[in-house]
Chain A
Amino acid sequence: MAQDENLIKRCIKGQPEALGQLYDRYAPVLLSVCLRYIPIRAEAEDILQECFIRIFEKIGEFKLRPEASFEGWMKRIVVNKALNFLRDKNRNRLFIDTPDPGLLADVTDEDSDRGFPNITADEIHGMIQNLPDGYRTVFNLFVVENYGHKEIASMLGCTENTSKTQLLKARNMLKKRILELQNMKERV
C-alpha cells in the first residue's frame, strides 16, 4: 500500500513515468477482469484503455485511506465500464432464455466439493468467458464481485428473479463444463 501511495501521489502530479508504472503494475489484473465480462480481446483492450484514461483523470479523487483498496477502486471502474459497454452493445439482448432445461437442474455440490485440482485458472477464466453474455455478467457480479441480486438487478435493469435464474444457469453450465474437462483430463 505504501508503494501504491507513492505511485498515486506521483500520478496525481502527472508524472508520465508514474502513469507507465501504474499501467505495468495493474494492467494484467484489470485486463483479466475486463476479459471476464468482454470475451473478445480487442474489445476488452479498448475498454481497458478507456479505463486507464478514466483512472488517470480521477486518481486525485481516490482517498488515501488505510482501508481503501486502490486495486478494488480500479476494478470497480473496469467493471462499470464493461457493464456500460455490454449494455450499449447488447441493447436488451443481454439475457437469453436458454431452452436447455437441464441447466436449471442444479448440479450437486458433491461433484465439485473436491474442488478442481486439475483445472487451471486460465481454463476456468476461459470457461467463464465462453458463457453467454447474460450468464457471464450475472455470474461475475455475484460470484467474483460479490454483489447481491438486488444490486445486480438494479445495475443491469432486470428483475431479481432474472438475476437468480441467470446465476443458476451460469453456475450449472460452468460446473458441467468443469466436470467434463476434469473427466477428460483424468481419462488422459
Chain B
Amino acid sequence: MKEDRTIFDDQICQALAGHTSAPSPALRDALMARVAASHPAEQQKWLNHKKLWLSAAAFLLISVSLYFLLSFNQSSGPEPTVPESKALVQAEENSPLENNTTSGDLTQEEPNHDISENTDTQPLDRNQSISRDKTVESGSVTATGKEKKTADNLASNQTEVLSVAGNENLPTNGFSPDAKTTYRSGYKIGKMQAKEQNINNLSHSTTNEIKTRNVSSPVKVRFRPDETPAPAHFSKHSGPITLGAHYTPEIMFNVLDNDNKFVHNTGIELLYNYHDFSIRTGVSLGFATGSSSMAVDYKPYKGSFQHLDSLEFVYDMQSEQLVAVYHTSERKVYDSVAKQLTTKIDKQYTYLQIPLIFGYNFYEAGRFAMSVHAGPTLSMLLSTKEDSNYDPGNNLIINTSTVSPDRIKTNWQFSAGIGFGYSFTPRLRLEMEPRVKYYFNSVYEKAATTRKPWSFELRTGLLYTF
C-alpha cells in the first residue's frame, strides 16, 4: 500500500471497477478488415518460412548424401580384382615359369577403374620374378610371399600392364620380392593398358600351356579410394593466400513489412589457407532498401487574402486631392485545426561489412571441392539515402516525424554455409556458397520494433590463389 494513497483513491478505483465503454460498431469492422488483410499475409510468411526451412533441410541432406555417396564409392566399392577366370598371371607355386605365363585379356570389372585406357606403359622385365600374390593396394604395389616365378617371356611378349597417369608411373616391372611403391594421395593411379594386339598374340600362344599348369592365386589389383581424377596441379593448397571478389544476394526474413527483403552484397575477400582450414576476411558493401512512414502534421491551405500593410495618402497634383495608396501583401490562410497524414519515404541503406569466416575443406576431387564455412560478420551503416514523393503543396507543415524506425548503425551477424568450389586452373576457382545468416541484434533502432532477422544468401566468388 503506497503511503500517498487515500481513501478517495480507493473509492475511485471501486467506482471505476468494471466500467466499460462500448466501442462503435465501425471500429470492429475496421479492425477485422485489417486483421483479415494482414492475416493471410502472415500465414503466407509463415509458409514461406516453412518452405525455406524445408529447402534448407533438403539442401543439407542432399549435400551430406552426396558427400557420403562419393566417399563410399571410393572407399568401399568393390575391389577391381582380376577375376580368377581371367587371371592375367598365373604362377605355379615353387616352380619357375617356363614360358609365357599370361593369358586372357586385361580388363577390369569396375568401369570406374577401367584399366584399359590411358596409360603410359612399361614392359615387364624378362628377368624379374613375379609373386603369386601380387597386390596393388592403397596406392602401393606389393609383392609378397612366394615370389619365385620368373616372367621371362612376359617381356618378350611386350605385355604392358600398369601405368600411372599424371606425374608418376606405376612401376610394373617392380614385381620383385617386397617391392612396394606408394603413391601420393590424390594422384590418379594409372590405368592398365594391354595392347590388344600383344595380348591377343600372347593369349593365342599361351592358352594351351596355361591349361596344363596349376592354377595359382590370381593377381589382385586394388586401387586406393581417391584415385579418381585429382591432378596435383588442382590441389587446394597451391598457395596460402587467396584473393577474390564476390557477389552475394541475400533474402531477409523477420524484417518490417515496408522493408525490401532483398539485399545485395558485393566486395573483395582475402583468404589465408592452412592445410584444410582457411580464414576469410575482407570488405564488402551491402545495399538494402526499404520504405518508412513519416507522419506529417500540417494545417491545410484555405486560400489567401491581401493584407493591408500600410496606407499612404499622396496629394495628386492633377486632381488636386489626396489619393490613398494601399500597400498590401498576400497572406495565406490555413485551417486552424492541424491535421496529420502519413507519407512514404524510400530509403537506401549502405552497409560496410567485415567478415571473419572460418572454413574447412572436407572434400576434394579433381576440380571440384566442398567446404564448410562459419563465422561472424560486422556491419556498419555507412549512409542512408532518402527519397520522398510527398508534395506539401500550399499546406503549412508544422512537424514531421518518422513513424517507422531507422536502421541500426552497427550490427553483428553469424553465418554458416557449405561451399562448392570449381577450379578452372590450379590458381583460379569459382566458389558458390549457400548459407544461412542470423542477426544477433535488431536491425532497427527503436526498441519497440526489435527484430532479429535471419537470412538466406548465396555467395558467388571468383578466387585467385597466389
Which positions in A face B, CB cutoff 8 Å? 14, 16, 19-20, 23-24, 27-29, 31-32, 35-36, 45, 48-49, 52-53, 56, 88, 109, 112-113, 115-116, 119, 121-122, 124-125, 128, 142-144, 146, 148-149, 164, 167, 171, 174-175
Measured in the bound complex, the distance between the Cα atoms of B27 and A95 in whole Å is 31
Q: A139–B250 Cα gap in the complex (Å)?
A: 51
- In the bound complex, residues from chain B placing their C-beta under 8 Å from that of A109 are 6-8
Q: Check B36 for interface membership: any CB of A closer than 8 A.
A: yes
Report if A14-B15 is in contact (Cβ < 8 Å); known contacts: A32-B20, A35-B21, A53-B31: no
B221 to chain A, nearest CB (A): 65
- B4 touches which of A88, A125, A142 (Cβ 8 Å): A142
Quick check: is B2 within 8 A (CB to CB) of the other chain? Answer: yes
Q: Residue B408 at the A interface, CB < 8 A?
A: no
Are the CB atoms of A122 and B19 closer together than 8 Å? yes
Q: Does B43 contact A (CB under 8 A)?
A: yes
In the complex the two chains form, is A16's CB within 8 Å of B39's CB? yes
B31 and A49 form a contact (CB under 8 A): yes
Could you tell me the distance in whole angstroms from the C-beta of A21 to the nearest C-beta in chain B?
Answer: 11
A130 to chain B, nearest CB (A): 14
A28, B35: Cβ atoms closer than 8 Å: no
Q: Are B31 and A52 in contact (CB under 8 A)?
A: yes
Interchain CA distance A149-B3 in the complex, whole Å: 11
A56 → B minimal CB distance (Å)? 6
Contact of B43 with A14 in the complex, beta carbons under 8 Å: yes
Q: Is the CB of A20 within 8 A of B4?
A: no
Knowing A142-B4, A143-B9, the reply to whether A125 touches B19 (Cβ < 8 A) is: yes
Interface residue ranges of B11-29 to A (CB < 8 Å): 11-13, 15-16, 18-24, 27-28
Kindly identify which residue among B9, B16, B35 contacts A19, using a CB–CB cutoff of 8 Å: B35
Contact between chains at B4 and A53 (CB < 8 Å) = no
Is B109 on the interface with A (CB-CB < 8 A)? no
Chain B residues close to A by CB (< 8 Å): 2, 4-9, 11-13, 15-16, 18-24, 27-28, 30-32, 34-36, 38-39, 42-43, 401
The reply to whether B12 and A144 form a contact with Cβ atoms under 8 Å apart is yes
Q: Which residues of A contact B18 (CB under 8 A)?
A: 29, 121
Residue on A nearest B2 in the bound complex, by CB: A148
| Additional A-B contact list (8), CB under 8 Å, known A31-B22, A164-B4 | A14-B42, A14-B43, A27-B23, A29-B18, A31-B20, A48-B27, A143-B12, A148-B2
Q: Is there an interface contact between B15 and A45, defined as CB atoms closer than 8 Å?
A: no
Q: Which 6 A-B pairs have the closest CB atoms?
A: A28-B20, A143-B9, A32-B21, A121-B19, A31-B21, A112-B8
CB distance B16 to A125 under 8 Å? yes
Query: Is A143 in contact with B21, judged by CB distance below 8 angstroms?
Result: no
CB<8 Å pairs between A and B, sample of 21: A19-B35, A27-B27, A27-B28, A28-B22, A29-B18, A31-B22, A31-B23, A32-B19, A32-B20, A48-B27, A53-B38, A56-B35, A109-B7, A116-B11, A121-B19, A122-B19, A124-B15, A125-B19, A144-B12, A144-B16, A171-B8
List B contacts of A125 (CB < 8 A): 16, 19, 21
Instruction: Note all chain B residues with C-beta closer than 8 A to A36.
Output: 16
Residue of A nearest to B14 (CB): A115
Which chain B residue shows the least CB distance to A149?
B4
Given A23-B31, A53-B35, A88-B401, A167–B16 Cβ distance below 8 Å?
A: no
Contact of A23 with B24 at beta-carbon distance under 8 Å, contacts A56-B35, A164-B4 already known = no
CB closest chain-B residue, reference A52: B31
**CB-based contact A20/B13 at 8 Å:** no
Q: Is the CB of A16 within 8 A of B35?
A: yes
| Alpha-carbon distance A104/B5, docked complex (angstroms) | 16
Cβ B13 vs Cβ A143 within 8 A: yes
Contact B20 A124 (CB under 8 A): no
Q: Is the CB of A28 within 8 A of B23?
A: yes
